[in-house]
Chain A
Amino acid sequence: MIRVRIPQKNKEIEVRGPRRVMDILAEAGVRPTTVIVTRGKDLLTKDQRVEDGETIDILSVVSGG
């Protein structure tokens, strides 16, 4: 399984791999233009494939106020 963390929402889900980033975002209900997706120190493009056993972070980039 792929571990998907959404730290700003204190949320974590697991999805079956392998899966492209854009598909994981769709499953998590997150719009691609509102986030960056990281794996450790790497920044991932939306077409990148994530494998079972890996952990990724979805970081919101939207600031308000």
Chain B
Amino acid sequence: MKCKRCGKTPASVDLPSHHSAFCPDCFFVFFRRQVEEGIRRFALLAPGDRVLVCVSGGKDSLVLWDVLMELGYRTEGLYIDLGIEGYSARSKEKVLAYAASRGKEPIVVDLRAEGVPIPEAARIGRKEECAVCGTVKRYFFNRVAAQRGFSVVATGHNLDDEAARLLGNLLHWDADHLSRQHPLLPESSDGLVRKVKPLWRVSEVETASYGFLKGIDYVTEECPMSVDATSLVYKEALSLIEDAMPGTRTRFYSGFLQKHGDAKPGAAPMDVPELFARDTGEEDRPAGTCGVCGAPAYTETCSYCRLKEKVRKAMERR
């Protein structure tokens, strides 16, 4: 199969969902354009932004960092050491090696040092590891960005992640989560930094192909805490459909975003059912600040500080 773009070189990446196939060089062009279009569509980033890229050592976040640097954005990486035996050390090694290869040094937050390693925090908090991990990571994404003057936080969520999340939210008719699911969460005056997902148009096969062809050495093992993650069930279901009907995943998620209405921050959704009405950032935002750490919070003490206190007390009792 020849590359459908240049017509000369043998293709390395076939993308049935785009009715296309590319040689490595043309695939890089295609991939960058997909990311640029994703950024442009919702004005995720501006040229003057200081972007905090959250990197886990996996393919998506390292590819995100790589492509944003190539597109000329001012970026720094943030790595959060989750305190997971073995896995965290191996993923950290990948992040440090990648950063060094690009002349960068990531910001590192060590959750053991912070007193909330994920396995212990989940056990003591009696919650699923992925839920606890999400709470803690979101907290530090925002805190590091706010303290260090970043204008935006970028995460490596891709099309498959977002489509799987959408399927889960729809299956549970979760109006609250549906209203907030978007590649852009605007900043707010109460201290929440803008959060963006620039890879929302590209699939996992595309990010993995980009990473492989670029020689990015990412951690391929799955987080041991995520073995039973429900998102994997939704991804499995969607891949079954995608194999039979290429392009369905893109239409599913893009169609949802269109139903969100105009995605500009603050704009009112137009003529869409209540269920899909977008949280524009002004409502349903934290009402105040945490009395302990000062972060934006829905309650007197934020969920991170409550968790941290619980873990501290449990450790003391040992």
- Report the minimum CB–CB distance from B157 to chain A (whole Å): 10
Stretch in contact with the other chain, from B66-74, B228-236, B293-301:
B228-236
- Report the minimum CB–CB distance from A29 to chain B (whole Å): 13
Decide if the interface of chain B is mainly helix, strand, loop or mixed.
Answer: helix
Q: Which residues on the B side are within 8 Å of A60 (C-beta)?
A: 220
* Residue B242 interfacial (CB < 8 Å): yes
**Pairwise interchain contact B133-A59, C-beta atoms closer than 8 A:** no
Most buried by B among A34, A48, A62: A62
**Pairwise interchain contact B226-A36, C-beta atoms closer than 8 A:** no
Q: Which residues on the A side are within 8 Å of B242 (C-beta)?
A: 33
The residue of chain B having its C-beta at the shortest distance from the C-beta of A45 within the complex is B14
Chain A 40-65, CB-CB to B under 8 Å as 1, else 0, gives: 00111111100000000001111111
* Residue B268 interfacial (CB < 8 Å): no
* Residue B239 interfacial (CB < 8 Å): yes
Q: A31-B240, A33-B243, A38-B212 are in contact. Are A61 and B205 (CB under 8 A)?
A: yes
* Residue A18 interfacial (CB < 8 Å): no
Q: Complex formed: what's the CA distance from A32 to B227 in Å? A: 21
* Cβ-Cβ contact count across A and B, 8 Å cutoff: 80
Q: Which residues on the B side are within 8 Å of A33 (C-beta)?
A: 203, 205, 239, 242-243, 246
The residue of chain B having its C-beta at the shortest distance from the C-beta of A47 within the complex is B1
The residue of chain A having its C-beta at the shortest distance from the C-beta of B207 within the complex is A61
Q: Which residues on the A side are within 8 Å of B133 (C-beta)?
A: 65
Report the interface size class on chain A: 20 to 34
* Residue B204 interfacial (CB < 8 Å): yes
**Pairwise interchain contact B239-A31, C-beta atoms closer than 8 A:** yes
* Residue B208 interfacial (CB < 8 Å): yes
* Residue B12 interfacial (CB < 8 Å): yes
Q: Complex formed: what's the CA distance from A36 to B203 in Å? A: 12
Q: A63-B58, A64-B231 are in contact. Are A8 and B222 (CB under 8 A)?
A: yes
**Pairwise interchain contact B223-A46, C-beta atoms closer than 8 A:** no
* Residue B315 interfacial (CB < 8 Å): no
Give me the 10 closest cross-chain CB pairs, A-B, nearest first: A65-B226, A64-B229, A61-B208, A64-B226, A45-B14, A61-B204, A64-B232, A43-B12, A33-B242, A65-B130
Interface residues of A (CB under 8 A from B): 7-8, 31-36, 38, 42-48, 59-65
